[in-house]
Amino acid sequence: MSSLTIKDLHVSVETDDGPRPILRGVDLTIASGETHALMGPNGSGKSTLAYAVAGHPRYDVTSGSITLDGVDVLEMSIDERARAGLFLAMQYPVEVPGVSVTNFLRTAATAVRGEAPKVRHWVKEVRETMDQLSMDPAFAERNVNEGFSGGEKKRSELLQLELLKPSIAILDEIDSGLDVDALKVVSEGINRVRAGGETGVMLITHYTRILRYVKPDQVHVFAGGRIVERGGAELADALEAEGYERYVGRDLASAGAN
């Protein structure tokens, strides 16, 4: 049983005009087997939280704490965070020319598991997972994200997630740009990971359509760099009906007060 605990987190990003505060005191705890949906308007701080947890160098944690099973995440390098069980599926995955998907996956699995997977078992594991994600086996020999469509990139992120089996998975708008069929496939992949009970999921999204397939245990609404409301799945239904308009004033007030 793992737990990611974020307390009073403040994060700034460096701009040409100096540091700009984005997160203004975020508190959030995610345990294994739980799914937390983070929702809110553009610029509210959802992706900043994801990158701060993952260790992106552009984001400066100015105060607060992030711990994984009581261990200080902020003292870890990016690769140490990955080996400890933190996983980030990026909104815009980068291309890695010259590195095949299969080699990338086996290298990542070796780093996370501490030893190289046995080739025969590994090939079977990859093929079975790709089949569940409706991916052509030839996909494994392509270079990572090079020439991939948006849907292929998202399936590739899910392929990594299912094979690496992290303690905490942060999925940053993994539903963006997907058609209905691809959305169902990706959602089924997330649900398979959830069913194992060993992974906590932070699902960042603007829209409720993925939450029709992936039912969250909690929904958190971001505005002005803070979580301003929490609730169950019914909160997502209210957002679908009402939008984020009622949070806009709170967003501006929070920004002006800091």
- Quote the DSSP letter at residue 118: P
**Interval 73-85: pLDDT, tens:** 999 999 999 999 9
User: Is 104 a member of any domain?
Assistant: no
How confident is the model at residue 246, as a pLDDT?
A: 81
Q: 243 φ, ψ to 5°?
A: 75, -165
Asked if pLDDT for residue 63 goes beyond 60, the answer is: yes
Asked if pLDDT for residue 249 goes beyond 70, the answer is: no
User: Is 251 a member of any domain?
Assistant: yes
Local confidence band at 240 (pLDDT 50, 70, 90 cut-offs) = confident
Local confidence band at 20 (pLDDT 50, 70, 90 cut-offs) = very high
The total domain count for the chain is 1
User: Is 234 a member of any domain?
Assistant: yes
How confident is the model at residue 254, as a pLDDT?
A: 44
User: Is 154 a member of any domain?
Assistant: no
Give CA–CA dist 86/129, Å, rounded.
20
**Interval 207-216: pLDDT, tens:** 889 999 999 9
Instruction: Record the pTM.
Output: 0.90
**Interval 99-124: pLDDT, tens:** 999 999 999 999 988 899 998 899 89
- Domain with 220, as residue range(s), is 3-92+166-256
Local confidence band at 258 (pLDDT 50, 70, 90 cut-offs) = very low
> H/E element holding 105?
helix 101-113
How confident is the model at residue 77, as a pLDDT?
A: 96
* DSSP 3-state of 135: coil
Residues 225, 44: contact at Cβ < 8 Å?
yes
Local confidence band at 250 (pLDDT 50, 70, 90 cut-offs) = low
User: Is 72 a member of any domain?
Assistant: yes
User: Is 48 a member of any domain?
Assistant: yes
User: Is 30 a member of any domain?
Assistant: yes
Interval 219-243 mean pLDDT: 92
Helix, strand and coil content of the chain, in percent to the nearest 5, comes to 40, 30, 30
How confident is the model at residue 221, as a pLDDT?
A: 95
How confident is the model at residue 253, as a pLDDT?
A: 42
How confident is the model at residue 256, as a pLDDT?
A: 36
How confident is the model at residue 205, as a pLDDT?
A: 93
Residues 156, 90: contact at Cβ < 8 Å?
no
User: Is 252 a member of any domain?
Assistant: yes
Residue 112 in tokens: 């996370």
Percentage of residues in the chain having pLDDT higher than 90: 71
CATH code of the domain containing 72:
3.40.50.300
Give CA–CA dist 221/237, Å, rounded.
12
**Interval 176-223: pLDDT, tens:** 888 999 999 999 999 999 998 899 999 999 888 999 999 999 999 999
Mean pLDDT of the chain: 91
